Amino acid sequence: MKDSRIAARGLVLLGCGKMGSAMLAGWLDRGLPAASVWVQDPAPSLWVHGSGVHVNADLPSDPAVILIAVKPQMMGDALPAIAAFGGGDTVFVSVAAGTPLSAFEDAFGPASPIVRAMPNTPAAVGRGITAICANAAGQGALDEAEMLLSAVGDVVRLEGEHQMDAVTGVSGSGPAYVFHLIETLAAGGVAQGLPEDLAMQLAKATVAGAGHLAMEAEEDPAQLRVNVTSPNGTTQAALEVLMDEKSGFPNLLPRAVKAASERSKELADG
């Protein structure tokens, strides 16, 4: 990871739970010097102590980046502790759900470059996708934020913060929808006579493999579905249930995304 600003001035990671430690591991794997990183967390992941980074030590006087990875309910205590770094060219990157750019501008000042990011939980295994946007002062910081966040998966840029609630509904909350699909797919196998462990193994591998194929194939998912659906075959029989306009996926999933998006907006509005 080549970033002379960070190497010279340092990066502060505020919060080092699952998401924070996944990002830290990605940065170190990509060559970011451990001595350039300061971690602030009362109970960071255990491996962090032996990684060479500064743990709960005095912060550098003018860090290049402060990445905020604390839980939203801890934001009230965390932001005042770093407010003194606002007003300069320190870039603030937040991966905290439900906290809008305006909240950070209130804490650090509107002249501070601020990037808001929405990763999802597969970032913990380097297979996430993160959506980012920035305030007016932070538009020039998007390249640096994308470089940092790409350590845990793909990164996309939004037109503006107004799209963040929809992102929350699709990719932020989306892994839970897929986990529930795995649960219920395995339950269907058990109902048809499979042992629980075998049904779960089949369901996990099927969802993981189909997702990988969807990412790698030139065809879009609709065509991939057609490719595996023989006329009057077993897959068509199942899809007639799943694609029912009233009770199937075309009705259920848009409703789920809408519910998550609306709740995201409610949380941001306080």
Instruction: Label residue 72 by pLDDT band (50, 70, 90).
Output: confident
For the domain spanning 4-162, the CATH number is 3.40.50.720
Name the more confident of 77 and 20: 20
Query: CATH number of the domain at 174-269, please?
Result: 1.10.3730.10
154: β partners: 129
- Listed by start position, the domains of the chain span 4-162, 174-269
99 — pLDDT class (breaks 50, 70, 90)? confident
Domains 4-162 and 174-269 share a fold: no
What is the C-alpha to C-alpha distance for residues 54 and 60, in angstroms, rounded to an integer? 10
pLDDT of residue 270: 67
Question: What is the rounded distance in angstroms from the CA atom of residue 246 to the CA atom of residue 153?
Answer: 35
Establish whether 56 is an annotated binding residue.
yes
Q: Is 16 annotated as a binding residue?
A: yes
Query: How confident is the model at residue 1, as a pLDDT?
Result: 56
Instruction: Return the beta strands (E) in the chain as ranges.
Output: 11-14, 37-40, 54-55, 65-68, 91-94, 114-118, 128-134, 153-157
Average pLDDT, the chain: 93
Other C-beta atoms lying within 10 Å of the C-beta of residue 242? 12
Residue with more model confidence, 153 or 96:
153
Cα–Cα–Cα angle for 43, 46, 49, rounded to 5 degrees: 90
Determine if residue 18 is labeled as part of a ligand binding site. yes
> What are the tokens at 179?
């986990």
Question: Residue 19 annotated as binding?
Answer: yes
- Cβ within 8 Å of residue 9, ≥6 positions away: 60, 62, 63, 64
156 is in an annotated binding site: no
Phi and psi at residue 217, to the nearest 5°: -75, 150
Contact criterion met (CB below 8 Å) for 70 and 97? no
Percent of the chain at pLDDT exceeding 90? 78
Are the C-beta atoms of 158 and 176 separated by less than 8 Å?
Answer: no
Binding residue per annotation — 193?
A: no
- Tell me the whole-structure pTM to 2 decimals: 0.90
Report yes or no: 61 and 6 within 8 Å, Cβ to Cβ. Answer: no
Residue 269 pLDDT > 80? no
Q: Kindly report which listed range (53-57, 76-80, 90-94, 238-242) carries the lowest average pLDDT score.
A: 76-80
Question: Is a pLDDT exceeding 60 seen at residue 42?
Answer: yes
Q: Report the pLDDT averaged over residues 10-36.
A: 91
Are 60 and 90 in contact, with CB atoms under 8 Å apart? no
| Arithmetic mean of pLDDT, 170-196 | 97
**Share of the chain residues as helix, strand and coil, in percent rounded to the nearest 5:** 60, 15, 30
- Name the pLDDT band for 2 (thresholds 50, 70, 90): low
The predicted pLDDT at position 43 comes to 86
15 has binding-site annotation: yes
Q: Average the pLDDT over 112-120 and give the result.
A: 96
Is 72 annotated as ligand-binding? yes
pLDDT at 97: 80
| Per-residue pLDDT reduced to its tens digit, 236-251 | 999 999 999 999 999 9
Counting DSSP H helices and E strands in the chain, the numbers are 11, 8
